[in-house]
Amino acid sequence: MPEELSNTNDWSRVRDRLIEQLDSYDSISRDEEEITVDARANQETWKDMMRLQEEGVYSDTFTAIHEPVIMLHDGYDSHPGHMVQASLEPHLLQLKCCEWKCCGYYRWLEKAAHGEFSVAMCEWLVRQFAKSS
C-alpha cells in the first residue's frame, strides 16, 4: 500500500479506514466523511504515550482523579474491557464499567450498542450532574 500512496497522510487515512473496518463488529451504515490525518502528529503522540506508559506516568497520574469515571467498552476489541478495567481500577477508585459483547470499537456506530451507548452515557452524566447540584 505505501507504494500506491506517496503522501504519508493519505496512507495513514487509508490505513485508518481499514482498521475501522477490522475493529467493527456490525456497524450501522453511514455516509463516509473525509478524514483529515496528520500522520506525523499521530506518530509523535503515540510515541510519547508509550514513553509515559513505560515510565508509569500515564497510569499513576490517574490517582489524582477523584471524580466518578465511566468506561463504556466493547466486547469485540483487541484491548479487552476486563483487562483495561483491571489496569484502571487501582488508579480510579470510582470507576464504573459497562460493556457490550457484540459490539466493535466504535460503540456509537454499532448496531448492538448505538442507542444503548447514548442512553448509558446520558443517564450517567445526568446522575453525576444531579449529585453535584
User: Looking at the predicted structure, is the pLDDT value of residue 1 above 80?
Assistant: no
Does position 35 have pLDDT exceeding 90, yes or no? no
The letter for the amino acid at 21 is Q
Higher pLDDT pick, 91 / 106? 91
pLDDT in tens, 62-101: 889 999 999 988 887 777 788 888 988 998 989 999 888 8
Distance from C-alpha of 107 to C-alpha of 116, rounded to nearest angstrom: 9
- DSSP assignments along 14-69, one per residue: HHHHHHHHHT-SSBPP-PPPPPP--HHHHHHHHHHHHHHHHTTHHHHGGGG--S-E
pLDDT in the model for residue 82: 84
pLDDT of 104: 81
CA dihedral 63, 81, 72, 19 (to 10 degrees): 110
- Looking up cell 474491557 gives 81
pLDDT band at 12 (very low <50, low <70, confident <90, very high): confident
